[in-house]
Amino acid sequence: MQTYDLEADGLRGLNAALHAQSSETNQTHWEIVNPRGSHAIAVGLDAPIEVNVKGSTGYYCGGMNKQATVHVYGSAGPGVAENMMSGTVVIDGDASQYAGATGNGGTLVIKGNASSRCGISMKGIDIVVHGNVGHMSAFMGQSGNLVVCGDAGEALGDSIYEARLFVRGSVKSLGADCVEKEMRPEHLDLLRDLLERGGCDAKPEEFKRYGSARQLYNFKVDNAY
């Protein structure tokens, strides 16, 4: 276990040390103490390492992650796991705005609530939220899955493409071109796997599925006036 005191040794040194790791490293477990809400902790990682952050973080923790597992034992500021490619990011507390934005792959687990625009422009990431999500979540979601075990705010899935949304609680309103869809056996199987990966004990049958009505895909001249 490599222990790094962020308050004493600074963010630049931390990220430099983490970036120096490779697939052949033997320094596979890192513990970050005294994060004190610092921004950009553990960004741009590209090695199969485990990074445990003992406290809450600021902006963009775990952003652009590849291969690594980043576990925040606290809450996370805006943009956690932004543009993640692979690996896993786990937040024990709440996440602020645009968690998982533009994520291309990997899994983001938020054990508390997520604020507005969770999963905005998601492009393949899987996001599992144990609590609620705020307004405009999955806005322009292109692919991937957003699982919400609580409630969803206004304009869920606005201008959505082909991302799949699963919500167990209530939805305040659906955004443009987002509709409730049939929950078929393959969706139940997919959701069961996502819930297991996210550490949720909810049953897939308790959820509703939402997705694109596919009415915004093509230009309609009547909409130009």
Q: Are residues 106 and 202 in the same domain?
A: yes
Domain membership of residue 209 (yes or no) is yes
Confidence of residue 223 (pLDDT cuts 50, 70, 90): low
- In the prediction, which pLDDT does 225 show? 60
Beta bridge partners of 204: none
Euclidean distance between CA atoms 106 and 17, whole angstroms? 22
Q: Are residues 105 and 206 in the same domain?
A: yes
End residue of a domain, out of 16, 47, 68: 68
Q: Are residues 111 and 171 in the same domain?
A: yes
Domain membership of residue 49 (yes or no) is yes
Residue 54: pLDDT above 90? yes
Q: Are residues 103 and 203 in the same domain?
A: yes
Domain that holds residue 199: 97-213
Domain membership of residue 178 (yes or no) is yes
End residue of a domain, out of 49, 68, 87: 68
Q: Are residues 113 and 177 in the same domain?
A: yes
Q: Are residues 23 and 63 in the same domain?
A: yes
Q: Are residues 52 and 138 in the same domain?
A: no
151-192: pLDDT as tens digits: 999 999 999 999 999 999 999 999 999 999 999 999 999 999
Q: Are residues 173 and 102 in the same domain?
A: yes
Q: What is the mean pLDDT of the chain?
A: 96
The total number of structural domains in the chain stands at 2
104-142: pLDDT as tens digits: 999 999 999 999 999 999 999 999 999 999 999 999 999
Domain membership of residue 222 (yes or no) is no
Euclidean distance between CA atoms 160 and 166, whole angstroms? 14
Confidence of residue 221 (pLDDT cuts 50, 70, 90): confident
Domain membership of residue 143 (yes or no) is yes
